[in-house]
């Protein structure tokens, strides 16, 4: 909880790269913020490191194992009823084929096409930072 009593959630997310493309996942109809696009990941459990969380969540959501290649700066975003801090990581697929267990859809896009999606607001600063590292300006 924050000082104002708003719930503060710590969440990981992965920028999964393959062959110059980035994976984006679309939230399902039953999830909060339905049909918004996001970087896959999830809530950090008590006693779990961000890296452990990310590996667990990606396996649960997508059925793949990942290798974490790096980390981007954490980003905090205030939604009307909660605050979220995203801990973003760069990753690639180690093993497995993607099977969507929670999301409605997924897409592989070149970095310059990422801004064309309707992203969850908290993901936007992460996308901007990633694109800046790639030398791509976000409109």
How does pLDDT run along the chain (139 residues), one tens digit per residue? Answer: 656 688 999 999 999 999 999 999 999 999 889 999 999 999 999 999 999 999 999 999 999 999 999 999 999 999 999 999 999 999 999 999 999 999 999 999 999 999 999 999 999 999 999 999 988 776 6
- 90 has which bridge partners? 15, 70
Owning domain of residue 106: 7-134
Give per-residue pLDDT as tens, 11-29: 999 999 999 999 999 999 9
For the segment 1-12, what is each residue's pLDDT rounded down to a tens digit?
656 688 999 999
Q: How many domains, the chain?
A: 1
Residue 139 counted as domain residue: no
Is 29 within the bounds of a domain? Answer: yes
CA distance to 1, 81, 90, 116, per residue, from 38 (Å) = 24, 19, 14, 12
- Give the model's pLDDT for residue 136: 77
- Asked if the structure places residue 128 within a domain, the reply is yes
Alpha carbons 121 and 137: distance in angstroms, whole number: 18
């Amino acid at each position: 909880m924050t000082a104002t009593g708003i719930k503060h959630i710590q969440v990981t997310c992965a920028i999964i790269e393959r062959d110059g493309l980035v994976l984006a996942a679309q939230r399902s109809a039953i999830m909060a913020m339905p049909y918004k696009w996001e970087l896959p990941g999830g809530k950090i459990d008590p006693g779990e490191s961000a890296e452990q969380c990310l590996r667990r969540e990606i396996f649960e959501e997508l059925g793949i194992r990942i290798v974490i290649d790096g980390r981007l700066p954490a980003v905090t975003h205030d939604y009307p009823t909660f605050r979220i801090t995203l801990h973003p990581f760069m990753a690639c697929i180690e093993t497995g084929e993607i099977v969507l267990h929670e999301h409605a859809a997924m897409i592989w896009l070149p970095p310059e096409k990422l801004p064309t999606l309707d992203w969850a607001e908290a993901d936007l600063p992460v996308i901007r930072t990633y694109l800046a590292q790639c030398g791509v300006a976000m409109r």
